[in-house]
Structure 1
Amino acid sequence: MLIFRVLEETPASTVRLLTLGAWELRNATRSLTRYKPLLLLAYLVLEGPQLRTHLRELLWRSARDPSASLRVAIHQLRTVAPQVLLEEGSYLRAVVSSDLGDLLSAARAGEHHRVLSLHQGRFADTVDRHDEQEDITDWIQGTRRTLAQRVITAALEVETRRSLTATEQAALETTSPESCDPVHLQSLAGLLERLNSPLLARLE
């Protein structure tokens, strides 16, 4: 059983990773918006501890020196939040609060209103502006699909009790419909039609 150690001791409560709409690692005084280090951190948040060799292959396969690229990304993250990563041997693990983690936890707990309030935009939206390797692109699309399913389910549950607020409707409309499976896509279309949402045209 691996026992992870803190790289440096710094209070973690002020540090937060934002991935939904925003793309930022933020503490009380500093922030980081570089897409690759944050993609590394988001992957670790969702997938748990990972071998450095796997991370190098996943994110920097085509780099001239993948090991150096990983070290640079880790350094950039530590500059904002020294305690954000734990390590033991060849493994890295993220220790940070995030909108992504909170949304998935809220979905598991059936906290539908919280799911909608946390979904402020599409996951990893800025990453689409960069050329990425197929494996990590597939992971991003899979994450968007999972989030879309959770948001649609939450919206449907809330709608059974009352009308969606404008903020909740906006959360629904910032999902990635192209990532949905047929069942959730049909549910989304029906809900958007009832809301008279302009997003419905994108599904037709």
Structure 2
Amino acid sequence: MNLRTLGELSVEGVTFRREKVLLLAFLCLEGPQPRRRLADLFWPDEANPMNSLAQLLVHLRGLNGALGEDGPRVAAGPQVRCDATDLSGAVRLGRPQDAADL
């Protein structure tokens, strides 16, 4: 599954609302995160941010391999490929043409 963040924000082949794609992008770039941190970060003004996170995670679990969950931590799953992390890797490895292609 390809997560696009450069130029557009989408998951190829899937129609998601913006917050689902943002959460996946955040997890790809920042790595595994505690559920509480995600809830407070994405829904700071909600009465029950953990419930909002739980509802969003239910939808993401429907995509095979989209999430990795380990108790209180959530991560992007092994099936998610993110263009921003690909770009970062290309720059880190000194591959300017691969970075430019992205």
TM-score normalized with structure 1 length: 0.46
Question: What amino acid sits opposite 1:115 in the alignment?
Answer: A
Shift of 1:65: 2.1
Give a deviation string over 1:103-155, Cα, whole Å, max 9, x none.
Answer: 0000001110111111xxxxxxxxxxxxxxxxxxxxxxxxxxxxxxxxxxxxx
Question: What amino acid sits opposite 1:117 in the alignment?
Answer: D
Number of equivalent positions: 100
Question: What amino acid sits opposite 2:73 in the alignment?
Answer: Y
Q: Does 1:113 align with 2:88?
A: no
Greater strand proportion: 2
Secondary structure in 1 matching 2:74: strand
Runs ≥4 in structure 1, deviation > 6 angstroms?
none
Name structure 1 gaps, 5 residues minimum. Answer: 1-14, 119-204
Corresponding position of 2:8: 22
TM-score normalized with structure 2 length: 0.89
Identity of aligned residues (%): 36
Give a deviation string over 1:151-187, Cα, whole Å, max 9, x none.
Answer: xxxxxxxxxxxxxxxxxxxxxxxxxxxxxxxxxxxxx
Query: Whose RCO is larger (CA < 8 A, sep 6+)?
Result: 2
Q: Does 1:35 align with 2:21?
A: no
What aligned pairs does 1:133-172 form with structure 2 within 5 A after superposition? Answer: none
Greater helix proportion: 1
Corresponding position of 1:49: 32
Is this contact kept in 2: 1:24–1:38, CA < 8 A?
yes
Secondary structure in 2 matching 1:31: coil
Secondary structure in 1 matching 2:3: strand
Corresponding position of 2:67: 85
Shift of 1:67: 1.4
Distance 1:32 1:108 in 2: 31
Is this contact kept in 2: 1:23–1:33, CA < 8 A?
no
Corresponding position of 1:66: 49
Name structure 2 gaps, 5 residues minimum. Answer: none
Larger radius of gyration: 1
